[in-house]
A and B are shown apart, each in its own frame.
Chain A
Amino acid sequence: MDATIQRKLEILTDSAKYDAACTSSGGDRSPVAGKLGGTCAPGICHSFSADGRCISLLKVLQSNVCAYDCQYCVNRRSNDVPRASFTPRELADLTIGMYRRNYIEGLFLSSGVSGTPDHAMEQMIQTIRILRDEYGFRGYIHAKAIPGCSREAVTLLGQLVDRMSVNIELPSEQGLQTLAPAKTKQNILAPMRQIRDGIVQSKEELTVYRHAPKFVPAGQSTQMIVGATPDDDRQILRLTEALYKQYGLKRVFFSAYIPVGTHALLPKNTPPPLLREHRLYQTDWLLRYYGFSVDEIVDDEHPTLDPFLDPKCAWALRHPEIFPVEINTADKELLLRVPGIGVKSALHILRARRVGRLRPEDLKKLGVVVKRARYFVTCGGRMLPDTPEDPTVIYRSLAELSRPELQKAALPFEQLTLFAAPNLPTREDVIQCLSGQL
């Protein structure tokens, strides 16, 4: 342990930090006598960096030496940044030391393409072997599969880790062709399919005999960069839905593009589209936990998400025929569609309803956000007292005008509300606002 490790850690953290995924969820490994570590299903965040993002895993690259020249990536061959590589031993020791101190839940390991994709994978596998076999480490490990690596490498890695991911990065093939010439749709999707099939197979084997080796037990995830290419929300979300449905992914992460590239086609000097990223995550939640499909939220008429509104509120305002919903009788699926009712408060409602009829004043006690839900529910057949019905008023009270990104955008919107119908910001406003031009 010396200054070199310190420096390597700095370089290889700096190179890894743009990856959004840092969750330690999905695994549930109970302790085994004599062995260090375990995982817990909901995951644990151990710290929060100055940008407010969660730190759950030691997120580093094995090496940031890279043969590829992907334009959106800070580690591209042509970029002049300091380069370093951890030896497997160094990184394994570092992980154990940090784990023992409860700094982290485990390791999130990726790598630049140092030499060939298979060579990069081999180094990662060696690190994880030391952790699992030599130290008996049972904490969480998330590893990246390097696009272009062999099937054998994916199989080996998959048996050692909890979660695996292959980053799609650019949501369209044109984007890949222009900005990441060494990657193809094919060499990204092939390992994703292999991981999917491996997971399915391992689950089948586990039902037959208990000690079958587990393959990527916490599932597969991926990441897309938002705002590096002109792809709209609808394209991104349709791809996301396809990944959940056809590839069985556990999570799709979105990462607002930070201008680290110089390519003529990449945006420069623009603030990262954080609000757009936030709306995409809200929609992602609706897909995974609320029973929504993408086509309900974005369509040809509304290809971008409304920056002013939570996507669930936007959906609800477009569907007055469904509301109001009666709290005392609606089923779970319908309750989940009400703005201001989340998964937890829906469960509370169902639970409390079995004991007695709910009154309007009970909603708050059950965790319902009344200031949003009030426009969409009845309680015992009646709306809550003093609930406005004018859609313009409702839109204005639901709009998140206080968000800093929208401070300047609020003015044209305010003027328009004097004359026009509720869904006011024009498509252009929305795009300008999202790209930070307003």
Chain B
Amino acid sequence: MLERTALIYDGTFDGLLSAIFDAYERRPMPQDIIEPDGQPRLDTHYETVVADPAKTERVRRGIRRQMGQEAYEHIWKAFLSLHPDRSMRIYEYLQLGFRIKDRLVRSLTDDRVIAVNKLSALVSREASHLLQFVRFAETTTGVYYCQIEPTYPVLPLLMPHFAHRLNVQAFVIYDKTHAEAGLYDGRQWVVRQVEQSLCPQLTAEEKQYQRLWKTFYDTVAITERINPSLRRQNMPKKYWRNLTELQPDEGLLLPK
């Protein structure tokens, strides 16, 4: 007889919440919740569960009501980290949360809380970096376009910010790493999977703006204060590839 049981869910966030509902219906509760491509163990009996929107909503409401919005945001961001243990960590976090309710977010020394907060912090950090380092280019259709290569799929965190801010201006942010695009038409935004990389046609004025920006960037530095390590610390190198101001003069992001 197998000692452990585990649920397999569909790998979506809503699916995970629904699976948590199922876990609470089982006696004894399963030890683990894993994604379809998770590593199976020999000593474990696996059961696949199907996501049910009604269960998802009940769990979502329950988390918000009992543990607060902050806890909900932590698990959502932790999920976006794509970490192999994300489902398990969130499951353990929520089990603790359903027991100790609103004391959960204050239990900053509990390892289960730390584990989720850590993942959530990684994602928040990436998102806040991209709010800084997204660079749009004007395309001939009037839509502004940007390519990013984030470690985590943070488009759902970026889109509300830019939609608010750019407001009247339609734009597309293409996440090359995860083959997703955030689309905003001036009213609403969506995130979609995209098959192949987008290569939009840029305007002639775009090239001039990129030059102007680079001129500004190069001029504003004070020679006597040059400090490469401080710059790297504030603006990690992984973002440089997609930053207009750090392209060599001839390599500006221009239409091929």
| A-to-B contact residues, CB < 8 Å | 1, 5-6, 9-10, 13-14, 16-18, 30-38, 44-55, 58-60, 94, 97-98, 100-103, 256, 258, 271-272, 274, 348, 351-352, 354-356, 358-359, 362, 365-366
Contacts and interface: CB of A to CB of B under 8 A. Distances in A.
Given A6-B212, A100-B166, A365 B136 contact: no
Contact residues of B: prevailing secondary structure: helix
Interface string B134-177: 11111000001010000000000000001011111100000000
A76 B22 CA distance: 74
How big is the B interface, by class? 35 or more
Given A48-B231, A352-B108, 20 more contacts: A1-B208, A5-B212, A17-B222, A31-B164, A31-B165, A31-B167, A34-B167, A34-B168, A36-B167, A36-B168, A47-B133, A49-B231, A51-B226, A98-B213, A102-B162, A103-B245, A352-B107, A352-B109, A359-B109, A365-B114
A46 B130 CA distance: 9
Given A13-B219, A13-B220, A102-B134, A54 B234 contact: yes
A32 B205 CA distance: 27
Interface of B: 103, 105-109, 114, 131-138, 144, 146, 162, 164-169, 205, 208-209, 211-213, 215-231, 233-235, 243-245
A51 B167 contact: no
Contact of A46 (B106, B133, B166, B169): B133
B219 A14 contact: yes
A110 to B, nearest CB: 13
A30 B167 CA distance: 11
Given A38-B165, A50-B231, A103 B106 contact: no
A37 B135 CA distance: 15
B228 A50 contact: yes
A278 B138 CA distance: 40
A366 B230 CA distance: 26
Contacts of B220: 13, 16-17, 49, 55, 59
Contacts of B213: 98, 101, 103
Nearest to A365: B109
14 contacts: A1-B209, A9-B215, A10-B215, A14-B219, A35-B168, A36-B167, A48-B235, A50-B218, A52-B225, A52-B229, A98-B213, A101-B209, A102-B136, A103-B213
Contact of B106 (A16, A52, A100, A355): A355
A35 B108 contact: no
A258 B222 CA distance: 9
A249 B253 CA distance: 42
A49 B136 contact: no
Contacts of A103: 135, 213, 244-245
6 nearest CB pairs, A to B: A52-B230, A49-B221, A51-B225, A52-B227, A50-B221, A362-B109
